[in-house]
Structure formats: C-alpha cells, structure tokens
Homo-oligomer: A and B are copies of this chain.
Amino acid sequence: MMIRLIYASRAINLGPVDVKDILSSSRRNNHQLAVTGALSLSNGIFLQCLEGERSAVNAVYHHILKDKRHNKPEILSLEEITQRQFTGWNMGLIAATAENSALFLKYSSTSEFDPFTMSAPALKEFFAEVLSSARWLS
C-alpha cells in the first residue's frame, strides 16, 4: 500500500545551512526507504509531501517529528495512491521565489502562503500544479 502524506509545521531556530542540511539528510535517508517527495519553506512554514509504502512514510514522518528545527506539526492530507508524483526527487525543494508566489496565492486564501488553512483537495491540486510549473531548487 503506497500513500501520500502532506503535513505542515512551523520552522524554528533555523540556521543558515539548515535547509541544505535537511535536504541532504532527506535524500540519503529517503532513498533507503524508497520515499519520494517535495518540501517548501515559505512564510516560516514548512509544507512537505511524502510518498511511498505506508509504513515507510509513517517511519519517516515520525522520525521528522523529533527534529528541533520545527514544531506544531499538522497532517493535512493522507491518501492511498497507485503511483508516485515525485519520482524525480527523494526530496525536491520548491523555491520560495517571486516566480512561485502567484502559484502560492492561487491556492491560498491568505496573502502570505499559509498551508494550515488549506483543505486536502486544494493541496492535491496545488502539488499537481507545483509539479508541472513551479521553479525548483536543486
């Protein structure tokens, strides 16, 4: 059983290299567990999508929960899937650039992007559009 889990959390105590560091841990660890996904950090909020075997995604998620660099986690959506969306990335980073901000606004009811207010269907459409048209950092 594969699932896609989307959660948001608030970044705290983020030092300059932390995002880079999170990405490199993620890629190393997620590869082991065959977990793929995408991460965005915008407006001080992490929004992450994790996809893979249900037990593996759960393991990764429960592991991330312990990280001191974020708090107030909230699972926003979880669904069973038959195929992955993010085959290219064990963890892709969606840039918080000006180019992506129209896309953020389109799905956000607030002027600052706030995924905590988004419903599961909205998040699904958001990640689908992200996949096809957002700018990614590599």
A residues near B (Cβ < 8 Å) are: 1-2, 5, 31-34, 36, 52-56, 58, 61-62, 65, 73-80, 82-84, 87-88, 102, 105-111, 116-117, 119-122, 125-126
Contact = CB atoms under 8 A, between A and B. Distances in A.
Nearest to A82: B122
Number of copies: 10
Nearest 8 Cβ contacts at the A-B interface: A53-B109, A82-B122, A78-B78, A34-B111, A2-B109, A58-B74, A87-B106, A82-B121
A80 to B, nearest CB: 5
Contact of A78 (B77, B110, B117): B77
Given A34-B108, A87-B105, 10 more contacts: A1-B119, A33-B111, A52-B109, A53-B109, A53-B117, A54-B109, A62-B65, A75-B78, A83-B122, A83-B126
A52 B32 CA distance: 31
Given A5-B75, A62-B73, A75-B58, A31 B111 contact: yes
